[in-house]
Amino acid sequence: RYQLPCFVDMSVRRAGWLVCKGLHALSGASRCCSASRLGSAELRGTRGAGSREGRGGRGAGQEGVVGGQPWRQSCPLQASQVLVRCSSFSCPPLHHHHSQLRSFHGIAGEQEDTIFALSSPPGRGGVAVVRMSGKDAWKRANEMVDKSMEQERFAYYRRVLDPRTGDVIDHAVLLLFRGPRSYTGEDSAEFQLHGSPAVVDALLQCLASFPSCRPAEAGEFTRRALLNGKVDLVEAEGIADLIHADTEMQRKVAVRQLGGEVSRMYNGWREELVACIAHVEAFIDFGEDEEIGTDVFLSSRQRASQVCGSMKQLLASDKCGEAMREGVQVVLVGKPNSGKSSLLNALARRRAAIVCEQPGTTRDIVEVKLNLAGMPVMVKDTAGLRKEAGDAVEEEGIELAVEAYFNANVRVMVTDVTCCQEELVSILEHLSSSSSS
């Protein structure tokens, strides 16, 4: 347990709180100090046996006098302890406190169950993969085959049997993994069967019949890997992003996150702030006695400010990350019969929207997801904008078009080349009046 001291400078304090709290870096109560006490050796309470107990009339070391004003120390943490701990603290990775996470979420009991799930996509295919994880994974896997299996990381070819009737379910390849050298950090087993829905259903029903075995919840294998320290939270998010990646750019970003690039950046912030904590503590406690100059505090303040700048720069790019995951929102707006639906069909290379000479054909928003140079793009065709709608349905479609216009990342106005300027002015006036209302 490492306690987070209260920084003198607010920018340093804000940076330390953001990183240390968010990444489980430090915990516990913070001690209070003010700028007027900066550099005073009288600031601290007791420093341990044999270390200036009698200074400032502190008695037991819990009270003292600073600038002629009595004060009481709000936290008994000793400065020497902070300096030793911070300087020797090696900044463990983000999953260092996985046992605390387990107790915090109250799911330690769930770890006792052996879980199973179909890991390959459902439906028909050449191969289906069913995974098990838990303390009874090896035992249950051996109960379902005709010959025992003892060696881990070895491919066994076995007949899979129904333990209730002895019927053969399928011929399969089985792999065993001993924890913690597995994906979840627990004992695991993997069935590779023929990808028939009947075969998979029969195997899952047999596994469900065992006591202490249950179907896994969504993402539970990765959650157990997180709680057992196999991955940290950022890497777990990278796994989810990689599974849902549709484009090359999404894949590259998810692989970098899964590889620990983002975690290393966060841990670097922690190391820098822990060093700042140690230097600020040294300056507060020993600034006068040990002749530690103010340059130590100023340097810590500058380093913490740099960390704050890096955080702000990362937070400013959150929209880019959202666009990378959800896709760049592109909306097509214009007057009726201006060619919006034709443009959407040309981009999609198929008939995604109805094209007709009658104005007001498009009522609802028509969305097409595209992959443009590895970037996910969501193109939306909207109802034509005009002041007098033909009916109530078209009027509601126009309202949806205006809403999509203001929520889009890229706005494309489609106009007729024969009357481009007039249509453009009319569209802008319509959007301006909608925005003000």
Work out the pLDDT band at 65, boundaries 50, 70, 90.
Answer: very low
Q: Does domain 114-228 have CATH number 3.40.462.40?
A: no
Nearest to 420 by CA among 330, 313, 334, 318: 334
Q: Which two tokens stand for residue 277?
A: 């904590």
* Lowest-pLDDT choice from 132-136, 350-354, 429-433: 429-433
Q: Which two tokens stand for residue 284?
A: 């507060």
**pLDDT at position 124, please?**
92
* Lowest-pLDDT choice from 44-53, 99-108, 276-285: 44-53
What mean pLDDT do residues 207-211 have?
A: 93
Class (C level, CATH) for 327-434: alpha beta
* Lowest-pLDDT choice from 151-165, 209-223, 299-313, 324-338: 324-338
Strand partners, 131: 117, 190
Contact in structure between 36 and 13 (CB atoms under 8 Å): no
Nearest to 42 by CA among 30, 54, 50: 54
Class (C level, CATH) for 231-325: mainly alpha
Strand partners, 172: 158
Contact in structure between 330 and 379 (CB atoms under 8 Å): yes
**Which of the listed ranges 53-62, 220-229, 284-293 does the model predict with the highest average pLDDT?**
220-229
* Lowest-pLDDT choice from 66-70, 274-278, 353-357, 377-381: 66-70
Taking only the tens place, the pLDDT of each residue in 338-381 is: 888 888 888 888 888 878 777 777 778 888 888 887 788 889 98
**pLDDT at position 419, please?**
65
Neighbour order of strands in the sheet with 328-334: 366-372, 375-381, 328-334, 410-414
Distances (CA, A) of 189 to 137, 179, 207, 338: 6, 11, 12, 60
What mean pLDDT do residues 425-433 have?
A: 71
Name the CA dihedral angle for 230, 236, 238, 243, rounded to a multiple of 10 degrees.
100
Residue 425 burial (CB < 10 Å; 0-12/13-18/19+)?
Answer: exposed
Distances (CA, A) of 28 to 37, 76, 98, 107, 389: 23, 12, 18, 23, 63
Rounded to an integer, what distance in angstroms lies between the CA atom of residue 245 and that of residue 240? Answer: 9
DSSP secondary structure letter of residue 372: E
Percentage of the chain beyond pLDDT 90 is 30
**pLDDT at position 120, please?**
93
Whether the pLDDT of residue 54 is over 80: the answer is no
Residue 180: cis peptide before it, omega within 30 degrees of 0: yes
**pLDDT at position 16, please?**
39
Contact in structure between 234 and 93 (CB atoms under 8 Å): no
**pLDDT at position 18, please?**
38
Contact in structure between 414 and 339 (CB atoms under 8 Å): yes
- Sketch the domain layout of the chain as residue ranges: 114-228, 231-325, 327-434
* Lowest-pLDDT choice from 126-140, 233-247, 361-375, 422-436: 422-436
Taking only the tens place, the pLDDT of each residue in 179-193 is: 899 999 999 999 999
Percentage of the chain beyond pLDDT 70 is 69
What mean pLDDT do residues 201-206 have?
A: 95
**pLDDT at position 294, please?**
79
What mean pLDDT do residues 137-162 have?
A: 94
Nearest to 144 by CA among 72, 193, 78: 193
Q: How many residues does the chain have?
A: 437
> Higher-confidence residue: 436 or 66?
436
Q: What is the DSSP string of 14-50?
A: HHHHHHHHHTT---S------GGGTT-GGG----STT
**pLDDT at position 131, please?**
96
What mean pLDDT do residues 403-417 have?
A: 85
> Higher-confidence residue: 220 or 424?
220
**pLDDT at position 107, please?**
52
Taking only the tens place, the pLDDT of each residue in 2-23 is: 333 333 333 333 333 333 333 3
Nearest to 266 by CA among 437, 33, 49, 96: 96
Rounded to an integer, what distance in angstroms lies between the CA atom of residue 332 and that of residue 345? Answer: 12
In the 3-class helix/strand/coil scheme, how is 306-329 assigned residue by residue? HHHHHHHHHHHCHHHHHHHHHCEE
Rounded to an integer, what distance in angstroms lies between the CA atom of residue 273 and that of residue 310? Answer: 13
Q: Which two tokens stand for residue 121?
A: 């996509």
